[in-house]
Each structure stands twice: as C-alpha cells, then as structure tokens.
Structure 1
Amino acid sequence: MTKTHKDWLDLNVDNIEPMDLSTVQKVHLKQTILKKTTKKRMPKWVRHIAAAAIIGISTVTTINFAFPTLASQIPFMKNIISYFDNTGTMFENFGNYATEIGQVQTSNGISMMIESAVYDGTSVTISYALETDIDLGIHPFIGGDFMDFKGSVGSGGGSRLEKVSDTKYAGYANLTPHFNKEAPDEIEISWKPQSFINMTTNAEVKGEWAFQFSVSKLTGAIQLVNEVVTNYDVTAKFKTLVKNDMTTVIHYEYAVKSDLLKEWPFISIHFDELRDNLGNLYTVSGNGAFSKDDGISYQTSATVQAIDPAATSLTFVPEIYFSLGSGKGMEIKEMDPVTINLE
C-alpha cells in the first residue's frame, strides 16, 4: 500500500537509522538509444547499433505538485551518483550543481527515492534509489512509461540501476527532451514507474509510484560555431556550444540524401571523444537524435564535462553509422576531423 503524506509525517525520525547505499535499463523509444551499461567500456558498434532517432508525441498536461516527502526523513540513500565511476565524465561534478528533490514513495514493499537532479539546458540527469527486501536481481528493469517532460514532443536517453547491497539499489537517468521551440528555463518532470522487473527471473513487482518535480536550468553561455563537414552523402553541421560550470553541450544537425536511405534505412552520426589543444581528452555522451522527416534530417546534441578554461580549441572525428537495423548489418565510416575554436 502506498503511504500517504500523513503516514510519512507521523514517522518517528529519531528511530530511523541511516543505512549504507550503493540496470541496466534502456529507454524503449521508437529507436533505442544504447547507453553505457557497465564500468567497462562497451564496443562502439554496440553503443550505436541503432540509429539515434527519437520521434514521439507527448501529451501536454498541467502538473499539480504534491506535497513532497523529504528524503532527510528516510535517509536510506545519499550521494547516489558517487556509487558510479564518473571520473572524467560529465557527472563528475554532479553533486556541486544538483538540485535536491528529496521525494520518497513506497508501494508494494519497494521504497523509491528521487534524490537530486541537474538540468543543463539540454539534458536532465536524475539520481534515484530503491530500498526493498524483494530480490530484484542485479540490474532491475523499470516497467511502464519512463519519464514525461512538460511541453516536450519526445525524449531519448537511458538509465542505469544496479544492486549495491542486499536491500538497496542505486541509479541515475540521463535523458534529453526535445521541444518544438527553445528549451524552457525550468523543466517540469513527471515520473510514474509501474513496476520493477528482475531481469534474471522475469519476476515483476507492480506498484504505484508517482513523482512530480521541477528543475531550473544551469546558467551558461552560448557560442555560435557553424562548422560543416560532408562525407559519403551525409552532411553534419555543428551549430552551437552551450557551456556552463558542469557541462559543455555541442548542438548539431545532420542530413542524408533520401536515396541513401533505400540502402541504409538508419543513419546516425556520433563521436565518442574529443580533445582540446592542451591534450585533455573528454568522453562524450550522446543525447539522442530527433527527426521530423522520417530520417532525412536530424537534430541532436552531445555532452561532455566542462572544458578546461585554458583550452582554446576542441577537435573530434565524427563517425557515420550506416545501419540496416539491429542485428541486420552495419558499416561505420569516419568523417573529416572537426575543430572548434573556443571563445
């Protein structure tokens, strides 16, 4: 049974003892976006096996914010992002910029907590956790609609949830909502998981968890880029850099000739790392792609951690993934290197 707000307020906080904290889940959209699922780096062809096209329509609804249960009343998880190996990634400084959410809900023996979130103006990263005596396996899968962003027309990304003790699971989600107009300064999020599934046994625990919260955009600066590269009948245009204290987001778009789609129905462009002129190497996290014309053109972005302020340029090599569909065949071809001079 889901606890009411009164149940939580009547808890004797002094009798609640903090416990130690410590999955792979893929967000199933029209095209699957594959994310890093283990601390060991996956082969690039696995990470990009599907074309990163996200085409969806979300119903625009008004979110009525419920009285939140403060996580400080039930502190079974803290600093969740630290349970993952984030050195050198965009999550490295997550705790310094995250907005505390602190909502907890319990249903059918599973307590779920949304700890904190960061919105960099492009993507939203959320740390969350579970506490339960039910065995959900090593990497539980979350059933039902994943997450809704008010005003968005679709979203892409992924989540990672893994067991860290006998009764606790740590997780984070990184998703990019797509809007028909400029992204809002504050984003409103609704998340209603319907079940948790043990991927080993297929056992499913259904329940009612419903979270509603908002996160304000980190302040930052926009730099116009307009670097264009064309290879193999595919053109990529790198348009802007959005820089803040936590991340740097490269916004770009690409287009393919329609005849090429007859041979390769799924085409996407990715780059896994970039290097600045000082020799620093940055790991890139793709944010999914959005198409309004059945794959002829896409809008997309990629995120890295904040760039060294002393750097004056970034260089990377985009790669084109020509795919027949998952498991049906694929080719990868490098494009010409791209250098962006930093302001």
Structure 2
Amino acid sequence: MSMKEWMNLDIDELELVEVSEVEKQRVKQHVLKKRRQAPIWRRLAAVAIIMVGATTFTGFAFPSVASQIPFMDNVIDYFQDGDRSYKDFDIFSTNVGLTETSNGVTVMIDDAIYDGTNVIVSFAFETEHDFGQDVSISAPHWFSVAGEIGAGGSMQITKISETSYVGLARVTPFFKDEQYPETVNVTWKPKVFYSTTEDLKVKGDWSFAFSLNRLTGNKQLINQTVQHKDISFTLQSIEFTDISTIISYEQLVSDELLEKWDGVTPLFYITDDLGHMYVNGLSGPSTSVNSQKTLNGSTTFDAIQEGASQLIIQPVEMASLWNGKGHADIKLDPIIIDLKK
C-alpha cells in the first residue's frame, strides 16, 4: 500500500481481527524495547576512572555509542538454532549497550535477560590481535550477581570475522533460602583473553556493571516426588516466562549410595503430549551443602509450544565416580504435569 493510500484510508471500513494476549504483550515489548535501557551502576565512578586512565582505558557507558558498532546490534542472531532457541530474546531482553576498550580489545555487551532464575547476556568483542579461530577468557570469566552464594552456567564464543567475535553467557546464581530477587545487579570483569590454538594472551582492564529486572512469570507449584530405594526426587515447581520454562527440584540421596558413588546427578528428558522434545538427557546447575546428599537445582528450556496440555518430565539419575572412572544410570518414574490454560 502506498503512502497516499495510507493517508486516504477510511479506518471505519477496517475489519478488526482478534489478537491473543501473548501477541499483544509481544507488540508492547517490541515497541518499548528501544526505550528500556539497563540502569548503569556507579556511573560517576566509571567516569572518574575514564578521566584518570584515559591513556590506557576507554569506557562508554551510553548505549548510543555501542549501537554505532556494526556487529553490536542483535548479537543473539548468531546463536539462533532453528525456530526455537532464543527466538524471543530480542523482544523481551533489555538493551545494555556498554562498551570498553583495553589493550587493543573492545568488549561490548549487547542485550541481557533475567528470567527469574537465569541471567542470559549477549556480548561481542573486536580485537587488534590474531587470536585465531578459538578464544577463551581466563577466570574470573563469569558474570557475577550481587548476593549470590554460588553460581553455575555456560559461555559460548564464536568468531564472525578476522577481528570480531560474538558471545552468549548463561549464568544461574544461587541465593540463600532460594529467594530470587526482583532485580539483579550484574558485574563482569574479564581479565585475560587468550587463544586456545595460538600462543597469545592479552591482559586488560574491562569492567561492566548493570541491573536487570525479572521477567514476569507464572509459577506453578508441583511438589511431586518419585522415589528409588536410595533416591528421593521432588519436582518443586515449574515457572513459565515469555522466553523459557524453568523447573526447580530437590533431591535426597542415601548414605549407602554415596558410599559407592561420588555423586548422583539428575539428567532430564522432557517432552510434551504433542511429541515435542525440550530436553534430551541434560541437567542444570545445582548446589549441595552436605557433600551431595541433598541437591537443589534447576533446569531451563524453551517456552512450551502452543497447544500442549501436558509436560512429561523423565529424570534419569547418573551415579558417577569423578574423573570419568565409571557411572551407572538409575531411571525414575516420569512426572506428568497438566499445563494450566
């Protein structure tokens, strides 16, 4: 339709179409996204650092600067897997837009999400150094969350040009009494970038800090227990957000079983009644305060596909000796969850 046709359009003749609440929310989030920026902590302190160390360090605390770098926007596109993984990340994420340069490496944080359990951050970096195909970051390389008592997670880094790389980090912080806050304060201070194939290490001074609000989710309490003679597994809850599904669990293991094995970890096989596979033999981060006897953890996967009415969660316990010295699988009864409409 041409601009002239738009200007002469009679809105009284338009046929209205029903739109679901989900689609309304997605449109709303998409419109508001460009105006929603992550709060930057200690901005005055950051400015002071820039002024003092201008010869070796450059920091940009404003998203407009980051957006001028061509590969900075929509970093998540490099990590899309088919139609499902992170498909709504760009709609519901917060634009962080922080950039810092040190020793020939410019590091940029693009977007981030806090879904109530996990913090997911997309980032990129551009370098004057020849790192080769594979780059890693020396510890401490994790994104840290204020108030956490521990954390687990993963990080992917992919080369996209001779000088540019993109990354995706997923961090699951653990808090005392498992009380997840409504807002998390996130910091990241990578120290060394190094090549896994070349003899090259680059030290620098990069430091980021930002805040994320929790995505609105719908938590469903389950508290359903399945047992083996040596294992009691309780699915405590399941939470649905716009981009993910999160199950939380507690597991008790007998002293007798732990005398034979160093640890017992639940692996999950998760499907719905329509046959969609969400998790295929994977686990998630967990914590224990009593040498693996009690385990508290969570696993995150894609949002439930439209039309599904049941979720089938099959735990398979992997009893193992550390350092790959042996393992055994213990299959528990499946847990079936009726999904609320």
Give the TM interval when normalised to the shorter protein.
0.7 to 0.9
Greater mean alpha carbon deviation, residues 291-300 or residues 304-313: 304-313
Q: Which residue of 2 aligns with 1:193?
A: 190
Q: Which residue of 2 aligns with 1:92?
A: 87
Which structure shows the higher helix fraction?
2
The Cα shift of 1:89 comes to 4.5
Q: Which residue of 1 aligns with 2:42?
A: 64
1:276 partner amino acid: D
2:235 partner amino acid: F
Q: Any conservation in 2 of the 1:240–1:251 contact (CA below 8 Å)?
A: yes
Equivalent in 119, 143, 159 of residue 124 of structure 1: 119
Q: 1:81 is paired with a residue of what secondary structure?
A: helix
Q: Which residue of 2 aligns with 1:47?
A: none
1:303 partner amino acid: T
Identity %: 35
Q: Any conservation in 1 of the 2:266–2:283 contact (CA below 8 Å)?
A: no
1:279 partner amino acid: G
**TM-score after normalising by structure 2:** 0.78
Q: Which residue of 2 aligns with 1:112?
A: 107
Q: Which residue of 2 aligns with 1:175?
A: 171
Q: Any conservation in 1 of the 2:67–2:73 contact (CA below 8 Å)?
A: no
Equivalent in 151, 156, 176 of residue 160 of structure 1: 156
Rg larger in 1 or in 2? 2
Counterparts of 1:170-319 in structure 2, within 5 Å, are 170-181=166-177, 182-271=179-268, 273-283=269-279, 286-319=283-316
Greater mean alpha carbon deviation, residues 308-317 or residues 318-327: 308-317
Structure 1 stretches lacking a partner, 5+ long = 1-62
2:124 partner amino acid: A
The Cα shift of 1:247 comes to 0.9
Q: Which residue of 2 aligns with 1:21?
A: none
Give the number of equivalent residue pairs: 280
1:207 partner amino acid: G
Q: Any conservation in 2 of the 1:80–1:129 contact (CA below 8 Å)?
A: yes
Structure 2 stretches lacking a partner, 5+ long = 1-40, 48-60
Aligned-pair RMSD on alpha carbons? 1.7
**TM-score after normalising by structure 1:** 0.78
Q: Which residue of 2 aligns with 1:149?
A: 145
Q: 2:90 is paired with a residue of what secondary structure?
A: helix
Higher relative contact order (CA 8 A, sep 6+): 1
Q: 1:340 is paired with a residue of what secondary structure?
A: strand
Q: 1:293 to 1:90 in 2, by over 3 A?
A: farther
The Cα shift of 1:74 comes to 3.1
Q: Deviations over 1:256-290 (max 9, x none)?
A: 0122112101211021x421122222236643001
The Cα shift of 1:309 comes to 4.2
